[in-house]
C-alpha cells in the first residue's frame, strides 16, 4: 500500500537501516505505534520489507521501504535523498549489520574482514554523517537522535567465534561516544544499544541458528532475548523521555 506523503511530512521520520526483519522490524513496529513515520531500508530481502511496509500503512501509519547497500557511499546518499522526499528525518537507527560463521582469527580471510568492517563500521559512519548533515541545528536542521545497534560482543571480544564482528561493534561504541560529544550542541543525541543473545536469523549467518539457546546457561537471567526487548530500548532512546541521554551504551543482554 502507498503511504500518504502528507501524513509523513507532519510526523517525525525515523530511518531504520536493515529494518525489514529481526531487531530492525521490531523497532519499526513499535516506533509506528509511538507515532513515527518509518523508512525501512533493506539490502536484498524486499519481500519482508514490503510486507512490513504494508502492515504499517494498513494500521494507519506511514512507511516506505528503500533498497540500499549501506556499505556503498552512493547507495547511502541515494537512500537519504529518498528519505528527504518522505519527510524530515529526526531519528536514524543504525541497525543493519552482518556477522560470519564462527571461526578463529587464523582462518579469517581479507574478504570476510572487508565485508564485516565495510557494513558494520563504514556503513554506520556514512549513515551517521548523512543524518548529522540533516539534523544539525547548525545547518538548518531541527535536531534529532542517532541510535547505533552495537553488541555485547564489543566488550566480550567473541574469542574462537568472531573477533572481527566484535571489533566492528567496538568501533561503533567508540563512534557513539565521540560523535555524541561532537554534535551535542547541535541538537543531536547519539546513543547505542548493546544486545546480547537475541533470537533472530542472524545466528543462521553465524553458523548455528540454535546458538542463543545453547549459550542460555551463561546468561545470568537464564533466558534468550527477543527483538522486542531491544526495540523497547531503542524506541525509548528515540523519544523525548530520553532527552538528557547522550553518549550512553545501553546493555540489553540479560546481565551477560
| Chain positions contacting ligand NAP, by CB under 6 A | 17-18, 20-24, 41-45, 48, 69-71, 95-98, 119, 123, 149, 151, 195, 197-198, 200-202
User: CB nearest ligand NAP: which residue?
Assistant: 22
Quote the least distance from Cβ 110 to ligand NAP, whole Å: 18
Quote the least distance from Cβ 59 to ligand NAP, whole Å: 20
Of 191 and 200, which CB lies nearer to ligand NAP in the complex structure?
A: 200
Quote the least distance from Cβ 197 to ligand NAP, whole Å: 5
Q: Is 165 a catalytic residue?
A: yes
Q: How, if at all, do strands 63-67 and 13-16 pair?
A: unpaired
CA 30 from chain centre, in angstroms, equals 14
Of 41 and 145, which CB lies nearer to ligand NAP in the complex structure?
A: 41
Of 90 and 151, which CB lies nearer to ligand NAP in the complex structure?
A: 151
CB 203 within 8 Å of CB 212: yes
Quote the least distance from Cβ 196 to ligand NAP, whole Å: 6
Catalytic residue among 88, 165, 194, 202: 165
Of 17 and 136, which CB lies nearer to ligand NAP in the complex structure?
A: 17
CB 185 within 8 Å of CB 243: no
Of 11 and 45, which CB lies nearer to ligand NAP in the complex structure?
A: 45
Quote the least distance from Cβ 104 to ligand NAP, whole Å: 20
Q: Provide the annotated active-site residues.
A: 165
Amino acid at each position: 500500500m502507498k503511504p500518504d506523503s502528507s501524513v509523513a511530512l507532519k510526523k517525525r521520520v525515523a530511518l531504520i537501516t536493515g529494518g525489514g526483519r529481526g531487531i530492525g522490524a521490531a523497532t519499526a513496529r513499535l516506533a509506528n505505534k509511538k507515532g513515527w513515520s518509518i523508512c525501512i531500508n533493506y539490502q536484498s530481502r524486499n519481500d519482508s520489507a514490503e510486507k512490513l511496509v504494508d502492515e504499517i500503512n494498513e494500521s494507519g501509519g506511514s512507511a516506505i521501504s528503500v533498497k540500499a547497500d549501506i556499505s556503498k557511499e552512493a547507495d547511502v546518499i541515494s537512500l537519504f535523498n529518498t528519505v528527504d522526499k518522505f519527510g524530515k528525518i529526526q531519528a536514524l537507527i543504525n541497525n543493519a549489520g552482518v556477522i560470519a560463521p564462527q571461526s578463529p582469527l587464523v582462518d579469517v580471510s581479507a574478504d570476510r574482514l572487508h565485508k564485516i568492517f565495510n557494513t558494520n563500521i563504514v556503513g554506520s559512519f556514512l549513515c551517521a554523517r548523512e543524518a548529522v548533515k540533516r539534523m544539525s541545528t547548525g545547518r538548518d536542521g531541527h535536531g534529532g537522535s542517532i541510535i547505533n545497534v552495537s553488541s555485547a560482543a564489543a566488550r566480550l571480544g567473541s574469542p574462537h567465534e568472531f573477533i572481527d564482528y566484535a571489533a566492528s561493534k567496538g568501533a561503533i561504541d567508540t563512534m557513539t561516544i565521540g560523535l555524541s560529544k561532537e554534535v551535542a550542541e547541535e541538537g543531536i543525541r547519539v546513543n547505542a544499544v548493546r544486545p546480547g543473545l537475541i533470537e533472530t536469523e542472524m545466528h543462521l549467518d553465524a553458523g548455528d541458528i540454535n546458538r542463543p539457546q545453547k549459550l542460555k546457561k551463561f546468561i545470568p537471567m537464564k533466558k534468550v532475548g527477543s527483538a522486542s526487548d531491544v526495540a523497547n530500548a531503542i524506541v525509548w532512546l528515540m523519544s523525548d523521555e530520553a532527552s538528557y541521554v547522550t553518549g550512553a551504551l545501553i546493555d540489553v543482554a540479560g546481565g551477560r
